[in-house]
């Protein structure tokens, strides 16, 4: 399986369990790695036979900006589900970064990474 990756998608969302997170929002960063067989697209030089990473990126940002959820686990699952709606995508790895998580000690980042594939 070939990999098409988009790293560092940024969007403001209102996800989290604390009222401040829901009211003020915060920046989330998302990395996606799409598992695609790129051979058909490469043979015909045909965008329609692969995953259009520009469209997928816009969809990911819309999810982050959309309906709030409590957990970044839920957010990651919603993103994975959307990516798998694209016919060419057979598997997806989603990493959601929450760099401004409400933690009282110094830290660099909080992430969750999930891998999902077609059933």
Q: In the chain, where are the structural domains located?
A: 2-117
Task: State percent of the chain over pLDDT 70.
Answer: 100
Mean pLDDT of 81-89: 97
Q: How far apart are CA 10 and CA 5, in angstroms?
A: 15
DSSP 8-state code for residue 61? H
What pLDDT sits at residue 43?
Answer: 97
Mean pLDDT of the chain: 97
Rounded to an integer, the average pLDDT of 67-93 is 98
Active-site annotation holds for 7: no
Q: Which fold has domain 2-117?
A: GTP Cyclohydrolase I, domain 2 (3.30.1130)
Q: How many CB atoms lie within 10 A of CB 17?
A: 10
Of 15, 78, 98, 116, the catalytic one is 98
CB 60 within 8 A of CB 31: no
Q: Indicate yes or no: pTM above 0.75.
A: yes
């Amino acid at each position: 399986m070939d990999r098409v990756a988009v790293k560092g998608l940024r969007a403001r969302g209102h996800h989290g369990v604390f009222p401040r997170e829901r009211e003020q929002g915060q920046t989330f960063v998302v990395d996606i790695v799409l598992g695609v067989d790129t051979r058909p697209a490469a043979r015909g030089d045909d965008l329609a036979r692969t995953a259009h990473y520009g469209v997928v990126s816009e969809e990911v940002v819309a999810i982050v900006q959309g309906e709030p959820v409590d957990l970044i686990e839920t957010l990651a699952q919603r993103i994975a589900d959307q990516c798998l709606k694209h016919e060419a995508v057979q598997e997806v790895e989603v990493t959601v970064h929450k760099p401004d998580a409400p933690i009282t000690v110094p830290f660099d980042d909080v992430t969750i990474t999930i891998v999902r594939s077609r059933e």
